[in-house]
Amino acid sequence: MRLTSLLLLFRPALPLILGLSLGCSLSLLRVSWNQGDGDESCMDAGASRGLPHDNSRLEPGSETRDFSDNKEYEPRIVPYYKDPNKPHKKVLRTRYIHTELGIRDQLFVGILTSKATLNSLAISVNRTVAHHFSRLIYFTGFRNAKIPHGMQIVSHGDDRPVWLMYRTIQYIYQHFGNEYDWFYLAQDNTYTQAERIKSLVSHLSIDQDLYLGRAEEFIGGDPDSRYCHGGYGYVMSRSVLDKLQRYLDNCRNDILSVRPDEWLGRCIIDYIGISCVNKHK
């Protein structure tokens, strides 16, 4: 009676107990088989190297290899001898790897400011968009200007607007012409959407002459010839800047204008043959 009640108590757990017992038995069998295969594989490996299966019993006439006299491998050092008759050539390396590989950044940003707005509008622009661009430089004609903290300023020493534009284009080409694909110029009172400008140049092909901005007509000029208004900012491709720098002196001497953006637009139209466009496909 007691045995029957005990069996009834453990009846729900019988499948679990049987499964555990069967699993343990199969695991032990597999371990024993693996150990047997390992011994045979070791013996086979020893036989392939010319070693007997049982080192305690060597057959007469069998050869054994003594590894006790082996020394550590020592590399042979070949000294370098400099040829005195051969001139030494110094290898010049660039400071940054992207310069050596010919990789250029996408966008350079230049802001035209003045003595009256350097400590007001220019500082506001710097706080708003400086962290969006890898290179942002302010250009002014005011010499000995007190530089606000965290701003890179280039002073040309002449407040005349056209002269400031001429010197700015010249400076940008000489110092950054080979480092960037696109050049964005604007005044310090321009509302600039930094992320939109960056997104725009990322979708443009660098293998084209492009002068992009707010297109305006010249007063009394050809309606098909337009310049980019400086108050809205404008983008120039590196190819335009490269072609423009050859004619900057001619433009300074031949083109009469009081507005720097008109002067630049006329210079690009006369010597490169392209006008400002509002949009580009």
Task: Give yes or no for a contact between 214 and 243, defined as CB atoms under 8 angstroms apart.
Answer: no
Query: What pLDDT, on the 0 to 100 scale, is given for residue 146?
Result: 75
Confidence of residue 64 (pLDDT cuts 50, 70, 90): low
Q: 136 — phi, psi (to 5°)? A: -135, 120
CATH fold of the domain at 97-271: Spore Coat Polysaccharide Biosynthesis Protein SpsA; Chain A (3.90.550)
Range scoring the smallest mean pLDDT among 22-26, 136-140, 242-246:
22-26
Q: Structural domain boundaries of the chain?
A: 97-271
3-state secondary structure 178-190: CCEEEEEEEECCC
Confidence of residue 91 (pLDDT cuts 50, 70, 90): low
Confidence of residue 55 (pLDDT cuts 50, 70, 90): very low
The pTM of this model reads: 0.62
Query: What pLDDT, on the 0 to 100 scale, is given for residue 93?
Result: 54
Range scoring the smallest mean pLDDT among 15-24, 170-179, 225-234:
15-24
Taking only the tens place, the pLDDT of each residue in 211-239 is 999 999 988 777 788 999 999 999 999 99
Task: Give yes or no for a contact between 188 and 125, defined as CB atoms under 8 angstroms apart.
Answer: yes
* Percentage of the chain lying above the pLDDT 90 cut: 43
Query: What pLDDT, on the 0 to 100 scale, is given for residue 56?
Result: 46
Taking only the tens place, the pLDDT of each residue in 182-204 is 999 999 999 999 999 999 998 88
Query: What pLDDT, on the 0 to 100 scale, is given for residue 186?
Result: 95
Tell me how far CA of residue 149 lies from CA of 135, 157, 224, in angstroms: 16, 20, 44
Tokens in use for 4? 């029957």
Query: What pLDDT, on the 0 to 100 scale, is given for residue 68?
Result: 52
Q: What residues have CB less than 8 Å from 261, skipping those under 6 apart?
A: 165, 227, 228, 229, 230, 231, 234
Q: What mean pLDDT do residues 50-56 have?
A: 48
Range scoring the smallest mean pLDDT among 11-15, 64-68, 70-74, 112-116:
64-68
SS3 101: coil
